């Protein structure tokens, strides 16, 4: 398969390129410096030139708090950009796998969200990603939208590496315990996205690690697996106000039999911690 990966310089994009190459696919990898997804003409040229069988669209604005201050740009990247890629993929006859987020939900359901639940993003970032989902669904007849959450892995800023860095030389670290989600290692997610690209199932899929936890739980487990002496201390979101509101419970699960099944988040965390090079 000829596979085009956008956002190939980012944490997830790199993992997707590696996973695709490991399966023997012919991969065209476009990083942000190679392709500005807000430039429709450039996107059309890049996709037509690559002549892919499938596109995995990882390029995105991922600064959740930054989007609150610049929703216009976040929307241009996550909404309009997704639409540009979807239209170009459709014109090339290519299947599209688009990566979305748990933040399209408001977190008030009280239990994990499934694909058919109503959306209601709280933040500018969530609104921009929902706009991207809608643009993809409208422009590409052969698409799979993969909602995922709380990503961590090598090659990019993420919560796990941040708390392990902050824990150095400290006895304790306060971590928010009233936000619950589905932490997902990109090393598990990337092959799942390739599965979707290789298949023919269409629509929205929830693709996260099995199980749920809070940020506090994730930090405590990371400290235990890394052998860090620092102790995680639970606190509340109110104690750590951020520009962008976060959903209280944005964990995802799938009701679709075609959805890829990922390992528990603890397994992904163990793999990441074992391979991590301390900063």
Q: Which of 103, 113, 125, 216 is catalytic?
A: 125
d(CA 86, CA 47): 10
Q: Do the beta carbons of residue 57 and residue 97 sit within 8 Å?
A: yes
Q: Do the beta carbons of residue 180 and residue 186 sit within 8 Å?
A: no
Question: Which residues, other chains included, contact 130 with Cβ-Cβ below 8 Å and sequence gap of 6+?
Answer: 100, 104, 119, 121
Q: Do the beta carbons of residue 163 and residue 221 sit within 8 Å?
A: no
Q: How far is CA 34 from CA 7, 57, 83, 271, in A?
A: 9, 14, 18, 30
d(CA 136, CA 144): 9
d(CA 222, CA 187): 16
Token match 């929830």: residue?
206
Token pair, residue 166, equals 């902050």
Assign 3-state DSSP to the chain and report helix, strand, coil percentages, each to 5. 40, 20, 40
* Cα within 13 Å of Cα(265), Cβ side: 28
Q: Beta strand pairing status for 213-214 and 151-152?
A: unpaired
Nearest C-alpha neighbor of 122 from the set 248, 251, 252: 248
Annotation marks residue 103 as catalytic: no
Token pair, residue 97, equals 């796998």
Q: Which residues are catalytic?
A: 125
């Amino acid at each position: 398969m000829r596979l085009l990966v956008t956002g190939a310089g980012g944490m997830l994009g790199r993992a997707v390129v590696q996973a695709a190459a490991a399966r023997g696919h012919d991969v065209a990898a476009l990083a942000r410096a190679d392709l500005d997804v807000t430039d429709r003409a450039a996107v059309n040229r890049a996709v037509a030139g690559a002549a892919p069988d499938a596109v995995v669209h990882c390029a995105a604005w991922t600064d959740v708090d930054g989007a609150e201050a610049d929703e216009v740009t976040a929307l241009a990247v996550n909404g309009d950009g997704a639409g540009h890629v979807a239209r170009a993929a459709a014109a090339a006859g290519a299947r599209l796998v688009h990566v979305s987020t748990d933040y399209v939900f408001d977190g008030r359901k009280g239990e994990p969200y499934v694909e058919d639940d109503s959306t209601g993003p709280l933040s500018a970032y969530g609104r921009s990603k929902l706009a991207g989902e809608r643009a993809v669904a409208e422009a590409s007849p052969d698409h799979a939208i993969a909602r995922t959450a709380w990503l961590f892995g090598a090659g990019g800023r993420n919560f796990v590496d941040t708390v392990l860095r902050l824990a150095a030389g400290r006895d304790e670290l306060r971590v928010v315990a009233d936000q619950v989600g589905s932490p997902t290692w990109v090393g598990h997610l990337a092959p799942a996205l390739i599965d979707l690209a290789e298949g023919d199932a269409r629509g929205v899929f929830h693709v996260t690690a099995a199980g749920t936890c809070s940020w506090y739980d994730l930090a405590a487990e990371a400290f235990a697996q890394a052998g860090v002496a620092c102790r995680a201390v639970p606190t509340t979101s109110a104690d750590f106000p951020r520009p962008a509101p976060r959903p209280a419970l944005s964990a995802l699960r799938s009701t679709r039999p075609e959805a890829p099944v990922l390992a528990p988040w603890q397994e992904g965390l163990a793999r990441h911690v074992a391979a991590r090079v301390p900063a």
